[in-house]
Amino acid sequence: MRGLACVLMFQTHCYDSWLGRDARKSTFFMWSQLGGTLPAPLFLFLAGISFALVTDKLRLKGVPAGQIARTTIRRGAEIFGLGLLFRLQEFLIAWGWAPWSDLLRVDILNTIGLSMMLMGVVCGIVLLFNSGSQTRFALGVTAAGLGMSISLLSPLLWTSWRPRWLPWPLESYIDGVHNLGQPQAWLFPIFPWSAFAFIGLAVGFFLLSDAARKRGATTFALAGAGGVGLIYLARWLDARPHQLYATYDFWHTSPNFFLIRVGILLVILAAAYLWCRWGAGQWGFSPLIQLGYTSLLVYWVHIEFVYGRLSILPKRAVDIRTASFGLLAIFLSMVLLSVLRTRLKGRGAEAVTWFYRPVKAS
């Protein structure tokens, strides 16, 4: 699933950066950018699932709730720090034409790190009051409730409840306002983006439950069916004549669009299980699985060759065919980079982000 997120990210960035004016008016470009609404939810959703795996492992080892919280919060802080470092790198590479405000842009790595820190706090609190057989259930329900709450609050925090009293670098983490006076759709503030991480956390604890493990493949089939049900429910809700919010922005803050994307994530989860258990994932080398091992690295590197000074094609100047060849070049080079990375670190080594490494309880 991480590898799929990488491929969707590559195509979105490549076509957005390189296609010229006429190509940008095409139906092809529209569908390309629609596919671009999935990589960020996928990365956050998978961060939540990985977080559940790590937290449950530490809990079963008898690690105290406070120590679990400190360990996971520290890992989230590391990712947040990497996000700040990435912004500094991009600013220095673009020295001379990038505005200084780019240093404070709320990007996806920042939000993943903050979401992990928030999940660490929440899990620590829940574990303080739940230590029995229903712990996973309590953690999952709490995570799902917080995920939906974040989604439901997002339209208000982008409009009538905007925290205008905060300095814009801080307000931007709430609503993505940056220094432009209005929330910006191209940024990744906590509202609504961290909701995907909390839903992933809930799904992770569900997958770890005894009942889900006993059902095996049926569990993933149910998840996929539930995803389809969420998509139809969200479409039905969106078609109602009366809406909850005075300002309704379907594509950016709508809880209905959030539910649709959660439904798609669950369908992808089921499809990925089928692919890995009975499909091409069993055939041998898998470029998607390989990219998934080093998703942070290929994210970090490909940006410069697509959007930066080292772009392999002229920006906003080529047709769909040329951009597609450029996309293929980016894909193959990132797979090669990923292979080199894992072989240098040892066969089967995983990426540097905390949720790809085993966490040892001290």
Handedness of CA 228, 254, 355, 35 (dihedral sign): positive
How would residue 355 be classed by pLDDT, with cut points 50, 70 and 90? very low
- Tens of pLDDT, residues 39-48: 999 999 999 9
DSSP 8-state class, residue 295: H
Closest CA to 230 of 201, 255, 247: 255
DSSP β-bridge partners for residue 318: 19
Residue 199 and residue 238 in contact, taking contact as beta carbons nearer than 8 Å:
no
Average pLDDT, stretch 206-218? Answer: 92
- Tens of pLDDT, residues 254-312: 999 999 999 999 999 999 999 888 877 777 888 999 999 999 999 999 999 999 888 99
Residue 354 and residue 297 in contact, taking contact as beta carbons nearer than 8 Å:
no
Q: Helices marked H in the chain — which ranges?
A: 2-18, 27-35, 39-60, 65-93, 108-129, 135-157, 168-175, 190-208, 210-215, 217-238, 255-277, 287-293, 295-306, 320-345
Compute CA 150 distance to the chain's CA centroid, rounded to the nearest angstrom. Answer: 15
For residues 174 and 251, the model is more confident at: 174
How would residue 346 be classed by pLDDT, with cut points 50, 70 and 90? low
Closest CA to 43 of 246, 199, 241, 234: 199
Cα-Cα-Cα-Cα torsion 143, 148, 149, 152, nearest 10 degrees, comes to: 170
